[in-house]
């Protein structure tokens, strides 16, 4: 399994090199499927989404598919994932994304599709792999409102691959509250490992190996 878990997409040369290395061939020789599902649960202006979509498209793929996880037959969704070399899952509301995967019975098929493919997550798309994606983490992180707005009080991790939790946008001007003091408060209450990454950083996973690639700043608290 090959994952590149970013906060703001593949937006610098270090992250592009990391993706190219995971893929093992030029972008122009590969198909990508772009999943916008998490973004549709976010209200307000979606200029950030257009920026991310344009950024991903601009890498120069052979085929750029866009796939919504809700409303289509399960097998159609899985077939479109299998057609891609890269599965790119956008940000937004990670609880909506997780519920879309579990609610549509996609979790097992999604994991099977990741075998032999590269997964790129942006923000919410990077947060769904932790087994600590729970009501407790929602309370600790301070985003329980993003769960409750969906009419839900509980959340089931769709994959549960890692014990560590990833929180994006550290030091981001778009999230000015996400500073060291904010991270420290989360760590005090969490009871599980947490990666905090800025918008120029990614967590790279190759099977059992996990490391950080970055042109920015990040923190890890085991």
Q: What is the CATH number of the domain that holds 32?
A: 3.40.50.880
Q: Which domain holds residue 83?
A: 2-221
pLDDT, tens only, 83-110 = 999 999 999 999 999 999 999 999 999 9
Number of structural domains in the chain: 1
pLDDT, tens only, 9-19 = 999 999 999 99
pLDDT, tens only, 32-75 = 999 999 999 999 999 999 999 999 999 999 999 999 999 999 99
Q: How deeply is 28 buried, as exposed, middle or buried, from its count of CB atoms within 10 A (0-12, 13-18, 19+)?
A: exposed
The runs of H, that is alpha helices, within the chain are 13-23, 47-57, 74-83, 94-103, 107-114, 124-127, 135-141, 144-148, 180-190
Query: What pLDDT score was predicted for residue 58?
Result: 98
């Amino acid at each position: 399994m090959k994952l590149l878990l970013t906060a703001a997409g593949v937006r610098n040369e270090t992250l592009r090199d990391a993706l190219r290395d995971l893929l093992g061939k030029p972008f122009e020789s590969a198909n990508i499927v772009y999943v916008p599902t998490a973004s549709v649960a976010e209200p307000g202006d979606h200029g950030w989404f257009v920026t991310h979509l344009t950024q991903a498209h601009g890498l120069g793929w052979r085929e750029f598919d866009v796939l919504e996880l809700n409303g289509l037959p399960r097998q159609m969704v899985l077939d479109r994932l299998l057609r891609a070399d890269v599965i790119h899952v956008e940000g937004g509301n990670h609880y909506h994304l997780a519920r879309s995967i579990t609610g549509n019975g996609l979790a097992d098929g999604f994991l099977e599709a990741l075998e032999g493919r590269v997964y790129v997550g942006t923000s919410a798309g990077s947060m769904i792999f932790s087994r600590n994606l729970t009501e407790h983490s929602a309370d600790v992180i301070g985003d329980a409102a993003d769960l409750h707005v969906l009419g839900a009080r509980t959340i089931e991790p769709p994959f549960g691959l890692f014990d560590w939790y990833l929180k994006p946008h550290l030091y981001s001007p778009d999230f000015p509250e996400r500073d060291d003091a904010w991270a420290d408060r989360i760590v005090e209450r969490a009871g599980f490992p947490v990666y905090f990454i800025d918008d120029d950083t990614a967590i790279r996973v190759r099977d059992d190996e996990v490391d950080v690639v970055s042109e920015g700043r990040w923190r890890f608290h085991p």
